[in-house]
Amino acid sequence: MEILNGKIVSQHIKVELKVFVDNLILKQKRVPHLAAILIGNNGASETYVASKIKNCEEIGFKSTLIRLNENVAEQDLIVAINQLNENDLVDGILVQLPLPPHFNEEKIINLINPNKDVDGFSPVSIGKMVLGMPTFIPATPFGVMLMLEYYNIETSGKHAVVIGRSNIVGRPMSILLNQSGKYGNCTVTVCHSRTKNIKELCMTADIIVAAIGIPEFVKSDMVKDGAVVIDVGITRVKDETKKSGFSIKGDVDFNAVSPKCSFITPVPGGVGLMTIAALLKNTLNAYIQQDKAC
């Protein structure tokens, strides 16, 4: 069993990005610029955005954080997004999800200029991905693909089971694994909460991507020997033995499943770090497109 170490892979990607930025600075050119909008003070969102900003600083990207009150009017959010859309010095825009309940997330995501949609959530980005065209890939699935590439994991002809069908992870993950390419060409089965024979399907999988949001959902008796297991889940679970009062759990029962695997991602330290690395790569790609357009 080998651990798919998100820290190692993400650091490798960040070093490559920093070299690119350092060369831009030597040429006295502007550096890539990521702008994030954070509404309210949801604890998890605060942590995610802070990590994104910190990673931008580490590799030399410029970053801007726009904070808005939880009760902000929709029109004020629209104005903030439009200002970023029109700013040629901003390459990537993300609106941190989830949004407060009085917002229509789909409507807000659609307001972001597709050329700056580094989260890869817009219908334009998703449509291009489905067609196999160059585009911004949703950061978490993109991060998984980068990890498969780094560890040179064979996917062609394999049976992949994706547990979860969200537009952010499960659905795009199934498309990417199925597409033609060195780290695609899988036969993909998508399972979800209504699938009646998940255990039996998982037992046939060479690759399992767990993104259902249920802590330790994938048990040892669901995984065949030698499988590759990618755990996308991350949930805070009450734990009185911890100083923080909680533990972080993935969607896979790691201790029970890992002895059966050829490769497995830990939680934390796996896919979460790759999500941010992929977001940074998307931002660089947006910068390159913008630079060519100028």
- What residue type is assigned to position 236 of the chain? R
76 catalytic per annotation: no
Q: b or e along 93-104 (b: 16 or more beta carbons within 10 Å of the residue's beta carbon)?
A: bbbbbebeeebe
Cα–Cα distances in Å, from 103 out to 35, 67, 201, 246?
Answer: 20, 16, 37, 30
119 catalytic per annotation: yes
Contacts within 8 Å (CB) and 24+ apart, 171-180: 172/120, 172/126, 172/129, 172/137, 172/138, 172/141, 173/140, 173/141, 173/144, 173/209, 173/211, 173/232, 175/129, 175/130, 176/129, 176/137, 176/141, 176/142, 176/144, 176/145, 177/207, 177/209, 179/132, 180/132
Annotated catalytic residue, options 91, 117, 119, 253:
119
Annotated catalytic residue, options 14, 52, 116, 281:
52
62 catalytic per annotation: no
Annotated catalytic residue, options 14, 96, 206, 281:
96
Q: Which residues are known catalytic residues?
A: 52, 96, 119
